[in-house]
Amino acid sequence: MMTIGDVESLIPHRNRMKLIDEIMVVDEKTAVTASVVTETWPMVEGESANCIVLVELVAQTAGVCIGWKEFQTKGNNQGGTGWIVGVKEAVFHCDELPLNSRIITESRRVFQVELYSEITGTARMGDEILAEIKLQVVQSDSNQGESLES
């Protein structure tokens, strides 16, 4: 398992926008992360966070996978680069995420051509599926010429 410090070497998010606490699994196409909902998260009101924040968790988990692949290719990733992310499809099975809930997120790159990727992701709390999300991701052209394909 990778620690939260390792997360910062793979994604550009910091402070309250960094939602991932632990990297459980990562390879060229898939990442699984663990996160605990805290009062510092965006979209927290009262004792819970809005479930829409799961879109960001899926995107950050995908960032771990892509950042890991870049690190394997280049040897030094420097915290990843920014993306433009669109939500292609999202199905939420909850309305809110209670504070201190542990969420396991899996993201898988299912398609890529040049700087465009499609990502599928699932967020769970225990055995309960919280959301199933498909993202469209365009990476910045600062990576142009670097292939992320396996």
Q: How far is C-alpha 50 from the geometric centre of its chain's CA atoms?
A: 17
CB 28 within 8 A of CB 106: no
Residue 48: band (very low, low, confident or very high) from pLDDT cuts 50, 70, 90: very high
Delimit the domains of the chain by residue range.
Answer: 4-143
* Residue 75 pLDDT: 63
Which residue in 147, 148, 2, 130 sits closest to 58, CA to CA?
Answer: 130
* Residue 14 pLDDT: 44
The C-alpha atoms of residue 130 and residue 93 are separated, in whole angstroms, by 5
How is residue 62 written in tokens?
């995908």
| Overall fold of domain 4-143 | Thiol Ester Dehydrase; Chain A (3.10.129)
**Which residues have C-beta within 8 Å of that of residue 33, sequence separation ≥ 6?**
7, 20, 21, 22, 23, 24, 57, 60, 61, 64, 104, 105
* Residue 65 pLDDT: 77
pLDDT in tens, 93-142: 999 999 999 999 999 999 989 889 899 999 999 999 999 999 998 877 65
pLDDT in tens, 10-31: 554 445 567 988 989 988 899 9
DSSP 3-state of 134: strand
